[in-house]
Amino acid sequence: MYIIILVTAKDKKEAQKISAALIKAKLAACVNIVSKIDSIFFWEAKLDQAKESLLIIKSKKEKLPRIIKLVKSLHSYKVPEIIALPIISGDKPYLRWMDAALR
């Protein structure tokens, strides 16, 4: 099953470091980085906000445990956001490219 994993990072530099490691390890076929997103959340019982970068990671479900381990090893947050969503369909040539990139 193909998945998209969303991960927020403290800044673009951290997002690039995590993305490069995922690609080099063949855990992600592609990672998009969206810089300067505004995040609002509760942390340690108070309302907080931050400017973050969002990683949109394209991969496969069977790689998720290794993705989580790698992201946690490189991430500066104590509890990083790592959320996986199923890809229910897609363009066949793109999905074949993903398969090749993840081998």
What rounded mean pLDDT belongs to the chain? 97
Q: What is the pLDDT of residue 25?
A: 98
Could you tell me the two tokens for 17?
């470091």
Domain boundaries, the chain: 2-101
pTM over 0.85: yes
Cβ atoms 34, 54 nearer than 8 A? yes
pLDDT tens for each residue of 27-80:
999 999 999 999 999 999 999 999 999 999 999 999 999 999 999 999 999 999
| Residue 90: per-residue pLDDT | 96
52 contacts: CB under 8 Å, gap ≥ 6: 8, 9, 10, 11, 37, 39
Furthest-apart CA atoms within the chain: distance in Å = 46
**How confident is the model at residue 42, as a pLDDT?**
92
What CATH class does 2-101 carry?
alpha beta
